[in-house]
Amino acid sequence: MLIPFGKCNAAEIDKDFAKCEKMLAKHAVSIVKKAARAKQKHDGKISASIARHAADYADPTSEEARMRRIVDKLVTHYELPEYQRVLIDEAAEEVLTIENDDLFRCPHKANVNRGFKRNLERYGDRLDEIENAVEERLDLENIGPNEGLVVILFYASGYAQNVLINRLGAIGGNIHFGPVENREYFRVLKVRAGNYRWHSVWNKHWLGGRTTLYVKHSNLDFTVEAGKLNYTGVFMFSNKVWRRWRADLRDRASVVLSLLEDRYPELLNDVEISNAVDSDDRFIDFYLREKMSTQSKDDGA
């Protein structure tokens, strides 16, 4: 509601301001409560997932505590408190900063509701993203006899809506992910052992069709060994306006190992790592020996 132009006395202005304040306070309280309920539901889902995983172990209490430490580190990476601060807390505080002065104009309640709803949806999307990441992480703990872990690092300069990696000589078992826009996609995934090839990156466009960059003939292959943590190189993709799409697979083992140390340190300690791109390359072996040597010195050995 806008304060009417023209003649109005101080009492009318004060009445309109009080009405506006009440409306904004109601919406601010509402978004905080809805976000709190979403967070509570989110915490319950994660706790239930960890408990289901731990139930299969001889000592479920110890396994649940171990996985809780791993999951807490994962959740920290997703910066949920920062999302809550910006999308919920600051949004609620901002609408209550209006002052009853000559510049006062009350925003329409439909616009306030729409803005808060959009923020709440973005916050909910982050919660869902974290829950999916937790399920994905828990799944890595149980590797089947014909399964391996694959490390995927994909850099997008521009927009990549869908990325496809084919499992060769088999029906099903392909790897696909996206969208990725001007950032990195880093995951450790559990997949079937076998040979894989980077196949394509495609984007839909507004006319209803899609544009595809095929890389399946570029020999961008890797082999996933069962029971191992398989390094697959770094896939670089560029999709800049007025430039041709470009893709390349590069050997950046030091970068990938650094990311693993930060986000999946327990996997580096518990699962043998293999170079799925070049089995003759010994850099990973050198890195792990140096790591063990450094740890021994730090431990006073």
Q: What is the pLDDT of residues 34-55, one digit of tens each?
A: 999 999 999 999 999 999 999 9
DSSP state of 14: H
Instruction: Write the secondary structure of 227-263 as one string of H (helix), E (strand) and C (coil).
Output: CCEEEEEEEEEEECCCCCCEEEEECCHHHHHHHHHHH
Task: Report cis status (omega within 30 of 0) of the bond before 81.
Answer: no
The percentage of the chain sitting over the pLDDT mark of 90, rounded to a whole number, equals: 58
| Residue 208: per-residue pLDDT | 64
Q: Which band of pLDDT confidence, cut at 50, 70 and 90, is reported for residue 14?
A: confident
| Residue 27: per-residue pLDDT | 92
* CB contact at 8 A, 185 and 136: no
Least confident residue range of 18-27, 100-109, 161-170, 287-296: 287-296
- How many other CB atoms are found less than 10 A from the CB of residue 163? 25
Angle between helices 283-298 and 253-263 (to 10 degrees): 40
- Measured CA to CA, the distance from residue 149 to residue 225 in angstroms comes to 8
Three-class SS of residue 106?
coil
Write down the mean pLDDT value for the chain.
87
* CB contact at 8 A, 149 and 229: yes
- The DSSP bridge partners found for residue 158 are 239
- Measured CA to CA, the distance from residue 87 to residue 131 in angstroms comes to 19
Q: Which band of pLDDT confidence, cut at 50, 70 and 90, is reported for residue 97?
A: confident
- Measured CA to CA, the distance from residue 211 to residue 235 in angstroms comes to 19
Q: Side-chain half-sphere of 166: how many Cα atoms within 13 Å?
A: 15
* CB contact at 8 A, 200 and 214: yes
Look up the pTM and report it.
Answer: 0.80
pLDDT at 114 over 90: yes
* CB contact at 8 A, 204 and 210: yes
Q: How confident is the model over 149-166, as a mean pLDDT? A: 93
User: Cβ contacts of residue 290 below 8 Å, gap of 6+?
Assistant: none
